Amino acid sequence: MRVFPIPMGATVALCKLRSETNTLGRCETTKHAKGAKIRAVKILFKEQSFRIIGACFEVYKEKGNGFLEAVYQECLAREVEEQEIPFQEKPRLRLEYKGRALKQEYEPDFVCYREIILEIKAVKQLADEH
């Protein structure tokens, strides 16, 4: 999963979604924390990712930090709609294991452009699990 920290104390994770099977594709993780070295990463869907991150920064400029995830979720839904970024909010995605459907489903915060998963996290500081 590619993780992009944004200053509102939230973490934006962008992942590729395999649209042909409606299951999650393989993603990589990168970590950025105070004093950490930044390594170069290849950004999938570069133009779309920059538009999504731009929408996140717009929410930060307007609301700042200190709110719960639900507040940022609602603000970001309005922002991506205003910026005409195609998205689904809280879609239920079927999961498979070794070719067999699981009972469990995955419900990301957003799916943008029908293939990018966007997860937001409102945290005081980033930790390894983010």
* pLDDT in single tens digits along all 130 residues of the chain: 333 444 343 344 444 444 333 333 344 444 455 565 666 677 789 999 999 999 999 999 999 988 999 999 999 999 999 999 999 999 999 999 999 999 999 999 999 999 999 999 888 776 777 6
DSSP structure string for the chain:
-EEEEETTTEEEEEEEEETTTTEE---------TTPPP---PPTTHHHHHHHHHHHHHHHHHH-S---HHHHHHHHHHHHHHTT--EEES--EEEEETTEEEEEEE--SEEETTTEEEE--B-SS--TT-
Regarding pTM above 0.75, the answer is no
